[in-house]
Structure 1
Amino acid sequence: MPQGYDFIIIGGGSAGSAIAARLSEDPSARVLLLEAGGSDRHPFFHLPAGFAKMTKGIGSWGWSTTPQKAMKHKVFNYTQAKVIGGGSAINAQIYTRGAAQDYDEWRQMGCDGWSFEEVLPYFKKSEDNDTYDGRYHCKGGPLGVSMPAAPLPICDAFIEAAGQLGIPKTTDVNGEKQDGAGYYQLTQKKARRSSAAMAFLGQAKGRSNLTVRMKAQVKRILVEHGCAKGVEMADGTKITADREVILSSGAIGSPRLLQLSGIGPADHLRSLGIDVVYDQPNVGENLQDHLDLYSICEVTGPHTYDRYAKLHMSALAALQYVFTRKGPVASSLFETGGFWYADENARSPDIQMHLGLGTGIEAGVEAMPNGGVTLNACHLRPRSRGSVRLQSANPKDMPLIDPNYLSDPYDLEMSIRGLKLVQEILAQSALSNFIFAERLPGPEVKTDEDYFDFICVHSKTSHHCAGTCRMGNDEAAVLDPRLRFNGLDGLRVADASVMPTVNSSNTNATSIMIGEKAADMIKQDQGMPL
């Protein structure tokens, strides 16, 4: 006989962990959280600097994109989390929400209830902020949000250098105004990572009505007579959901599972031999992501954390962390940055910068043998749109991930402007005592054609994919604004895939907010106490 629950949540990432914890606050609700990945017990998931290991294979599926047609067929490593906590367990812990205008535009696009003033309470609800409180922040929530524990002098020099170009210093990019350069707050508590699983599921641990299963691969969502009734697992086990199935597997995983379940573009599914359960052409469409470009400079001395790459220095760093909670192990390695303009007519900053306290931190990025610093820039509101499709009916096969980077010429122009901006910052006198020489792009890159050639080799994803199951009030929308699947009962999607447009920053905080808001909407629709 199938096992039964009230709610089945597929995916224990940023949104799914929040939803599971919030729904299980009602002791009468039987909640099952299914996570295809494994446990987060390994120390790398808890130590802030463990991020450097994450894009190189630990805790990820090892997926990549299709060759990018507008970028000379470059193939990108595309890190997708394979661990409880999802992206929040392997990211650089940067806590940013985007611009208020992002959410107001969602509302203008027909997403009732998603304006900035309406989502702000859900951002605050999660927070346990070690510095700020008031209109924009809160203390006492499950998610640790903290100032960096181990900044370096080069960070302050970067902020000063940005100021020399007219970029003001900011103390809170999540406050009244996003513009400026400064320190990011991080999803950390007491110099340890605070992932969604650590924060939300940690508080919910021990509730008898919450079951969390890891290494639990869902084969398909079960639909009967137009209503989601449960799931079938990879081993053939069937589990029923008396109230709702909530899909929270991310902007790649959610459309992938829907299509494996026969829910998606009918012609594509039939071509793979998958029985069509519901024809929804826009499942997997509208993929958006931030393309990340970078400039790398060699430094004049031990000003970054590159020197700790050697074994004896790594041991010293470990001891420093154990006894002081300071040093490179306490650092996310990307703690400073800011928001500014490539397009002077943009309605809010359209470039985000991340100062990397070393080189070769992420997969595919070059390392400087004598030590260096990396300054990333990404264009925040890309016009290019891609897709997520299946390459076969086999759930073990990697999906066809096509961000379609730079297919819109505007994105290329703004991206190049952003790269030139970070080069200018690194060349300012405030950094002259720290910077020895620019190594990438280097002096030989001069024309826009040179920059394009450079970008086609030296670029990466910002890990901010979104939009593949977008909500809206139009006929083409996959979901309604309450995140219910249009055309099927008993099924919701709640993760970064629901965004009609990607928010103008890192996406983790927004995904958690979506989980918080989804939980309240589910409780309201099901007559549960809030």
Structure 2
Amino acid sequence: MGVSWWRLVAVSALAAILFSPHLHCASQEGPRYPFMRNATTAPKVSYYDYIIIGGGTAGCPLAATLSQNYRVLLLERGGSPYSNPNITNLASFGLPLADTSPASPAQRFISQDGVINSRARVLGGGSCLNAGFYTRADPLYVRNAGWDERVVNESYEWVERVVAFEPPMRQWQSAVRDGLVEIGVLPFNGFTYDHMEGTKVGGTIFDQQGHRHTAADLLQYADPTRITVLLHATVHRIFFRVQGGSRPVAHGVSFRDASRVLHRAYLRDGPMNEIIVSAGALGSPQLLMLSGIGPEAHLRAHNIGVVLDQPLVGQGMSDNPMNAIFVPSPIPVEVSLIQVVGITHSGSYIEAASGSSFGRGDPRNFGIFSPRIGQFSKVPPKERTREALARAIELMDSVEEAELRGGFILEKIMGPISSGHLELRTRNINDNPLVTFNYLQDPRDLERCVEGMRMIERVIESKAFSPFTFQSIPEDLVANMSSRCPVNLLPKHVNSETPLEDFCRNTVMTIWHYHGGSQVGRVVDSDYKVIGVGSLRVIDGSTFHYSPGTNPQATVMMLGRYMGLQILTQRLAAM
């Protein structure tokens, strides 16, 4: 026979994975996964076909896909999002980001630049913490990545059946949308998940009831008989073996549970079984270094045995700079996160959030631009000390709620071109590494920020947006905003002694889209296999050279699904 019976069975199985997802409905509180449990229940030693480190935005769809044919272990250092209403409800956005306790689903870090940032520590990763905007990558990004466009589209659709929705467009967001169109950010593309130059309404992972749907929901697709998800399982090291002078091959990991008990998990015998790191842009290069893959001198300085001298691990770290302007409103505005985007010719993305952007109104909501979550831009980055942050929170709480009525219009720099690096701080995986992003260091990034600020000014001055602006802002309001609140009003750059370039540098914040550290072509190849070692891949945002789309979460989820299918296809071809 030209094709074996087993091969026909495998082809049929792969077709079923591609076209017949067997979903069960998730409740408002989330699905009840029989395969998800605390790592304290895990055996001391276990064996799997795939060990995935990091149950985040890429790890969950990747694990769900691979479990269709193989035994998969998914190790997540955080807990479940479904037991935390502050994650699942839009009204409580900001509370997880403001929680700085060791048990928080968000682990705060401060870059060497001085910008306060956060990394996820929860099943579902950053999709559990972000502002919810859902948009695909630019088709040019897909082509440059060398991805199969048909499978990419099918993978996006697979994600969207579970987590993506059309947002309700109310007055303030509609005014921003119409203002962008009025000033010439064209064409108007309506509601679409696609990345298209001009103005559009994007998707959201919050449903019509304001309930968040995350990458963890994609585990609905998993085969419950072949997958194990362990929570509070912190991986400390990847094990390698070297035989006869050949290249190192990954074959196991060690992890600790919440009681600090050590466990080991190993790959089952099989030439194509693998360990896959999906620990994020900070966690993945950090774990590679702690496991002996990284710059030799740096590893030896930390007394880490060198498995592979790879000086490019931790290089190419970038974070998209964000600058935001508060627009006081004479009338009430709705509570909204990111819904509208203007994708401009200059390389700036214009977006907006409104209502409880400070976390006032609903006492549970700290808002997208509250200093409580680290979004503090009233002073330059290097001056954002713990004391300055505490003072900003105190001042914000002292201002009358009516004076905080309004919203923010922000610009994010596409790319960016500026980049930095990551280094180990300690040998403890729980400690944040040292990371430098070099915000706006490249003059082209700075130029795009300046152009973005000018476009924000034009939106604010547009006829469409006029119901939400004062013809002349009351002096007492200006005084409160300028002296007592951690916010930035529109800079009067024409008569100001501070040029817009300085304003951009001094008010820069994060939009939580940092990436790099394990980049394709540097640390991993086009199949995301770590160059120089065997049975090890990295699949997450650390592999990106620049952030896809106006928000990367859709593409990171798609990548998990896409690479899961690619791996299954590669194994099928090898049968």
Aligned mates of 1:528, 1:2 — CA distance in 2: 31
Paired position in structure 1 for 2:340: 336
Q: CA offset at residue 182 of structure 1?
A: 3.3
Q: Is the 8 A contact 1:76 1:461 kept in 2?
A: yes
Shift of 1:164: 1.7
What is the rounded CA distance, in whole Å, between the counterparts of 1:266 and 1:404 in structure 2?
24
Output the amino acid matched with 1:455: C
Alignment counterpart, residue 315 of structure 2, candidates 263, 268, 285: 285
Taking a change above 3 Å as real, the CA distance of residues 432 and 501 of structure 1, as seen in their structure-2 partners, is: closer
Contact 2:151/2:562, CA 8 A, preserved across alignment:
no
TM-score of the aligned structures, taking structure 1 as reference length: 0.82
The corresponding residue for 2:388 is: none
Deviations 1:497-519 (A, max 9, x none): 12233224211011011101110
Secondary structure of 2:327's partner?
A: strand
Gaps of 5+ in 1: 69-74, 108-113, 129-142, 306-330, 343-349
**1:5–1:30: 8 Å Cα contact kept in structure 2?**
yes
Alignment RMSD:
2.3
**Pair 1:413-2:457 in alignment:** no
CA distance in 2, matches of 1:298, 1:116: 44
- The normalised TM-score by structure 2 is 0.76
Q: Is the 8 A contact 2:167 2:207 kept in 1?
A: no
- 1:231 match: 253
TM-superposition CA deviations, 1:194-232 (whole Å, max 9, x none) = 10102x11343x712211111100001111111100101
Quote how far apart the aligned CAs of 1:42 are: 0.8
The AA in structure 2 aligned to 1:18 is: P
Q: Deviations over 1:170-196 (max 9, x none)?
A: 214533x61222322112345321101
Q: Is the 8 A contact 2:515 2:547 kept in 1?
A: yes
Who is 2:197 aligned against?
Answer: 179
CA distance in 1 between partners of 2:331 and 2:180 (Å) = 21
- Match of residue 352 from structure 1: 349
Q: Over residues 34-60 of structure 1, what are the superposed CA-to-partner deviations in whole Å (9 max), with x where a residue is unaligned? A: 000111111121112333324323521
Q: Which amino acid aligns with 2:339?
A: E
Choose which of 216, 231, 236 in structure 2 pairs with 1:197.
216
CA distance in 1, matches of 2:553, 2:516: 14
Contact 1:173–1:338 under 8 Å retained in 2: no
The amino acid of 1:121's aligned partner reads E
Aligned equivalents of 1:356, 1:178: Cα separation in 2? 21
Distance across 2 between alignment mates of 1:448 and 1:160: 32
Which has more radius of gyration?
2
Partner of 1:485: 530
Q: Which residue of 2 aligns with 1:433?
A: 467
Q: How far apart, in 2, do the equivalents of 1:428 and 1:400 lie?
A: 43
Q: 2:67 aligns with which of 21, 24, 29?
A: 24
In structure 2, the residue corresponding to 1:127 is in which secondary structure? helix
Partner of 2:229: 212
1:182 is aligned with what amino acid? Answer: K
Q: Kindly report which structure 2 residues correspond to 1:87-98, keeping only aligned pairs within 5 A, or say none.
A: 87-98=126-137
Shift of 1:127: 2.0
Give per-residue Cα distances to partners, 1:296-333, cap 9 Å, x unaligned.
1110021233xxxxxxxxxxxxxxxxxxxxxxxxx5x2
Return 437-446 or 277-286, whichever deviates more.
437-446
Q: Does 1:246 align with 2:276?
A: yes
Contact 2:327 2:489 in 1 (8 A): no
Question: Structure 1 residues 485 and 464 mapped into 2: Cα distance closer, same or farther (>3 Å)?
Answer: same
8 Å Cα contact 2:180-2:342 kept in structure 1: no
1:116 positional shift: 4.8
Contact 1:98-1:174 within 8 A present in 2 as well:
no
Counterpart Cα distance in 1 of 2:560 and 2:202: 22
CA contact (8 A) 1:295 1:423 kept: no
Determine helix, strand or coil for the equivalent of 1:63.
Answer: strand
Kindly report which structure 2 residues correspond to 1:53-452, keeping only aligned pairs within 5 A, or say none: 53-57=95-99, 58-66=104-112, 68=113, 75-107=114-146, 114=147, 116=149, 119-128=152-161, 143-149=162-168, 151-168=169-186, 169-175=188-194, 178-191=196-209, 192-198=211-217, 200-204=218-222, 207-225=224-242, 226-234=248-256, 235-242=261-268, 243-305=273-335, 331=336, 333-342=337-346, 350-358=347-355, 359-360=357-358, 361-362=367-368, 363=373, 364-365=375-376, 369=401, 370=403, 371-436=405-470, 437=473, 440-446=488-494, 449-452=498-501
CA separation of 1:381/1:145 partners in 2, compared to 1, >3 Å: closer, same or farther?
Answer: same
Partner Cα distance (1:97, 1:2) in 2: 40
**DSSP 3-state at the match of 2:119:** coil
> Is the Cα contact below 8 Å between 2:193 and 2:203 reproduced in 1?
no
Q: In the alignment, is the contact (CA less than 8 A) between 1:293 and 1:458 conserved in 2?
A: yes
Q: Provide the C-alpha distance between the structure 2 equivalents of 1:30 and 1:517, rounded to a whole number of angstroms.
A: 18
Of all paired residues, the percent bearing the same amino acid is 29
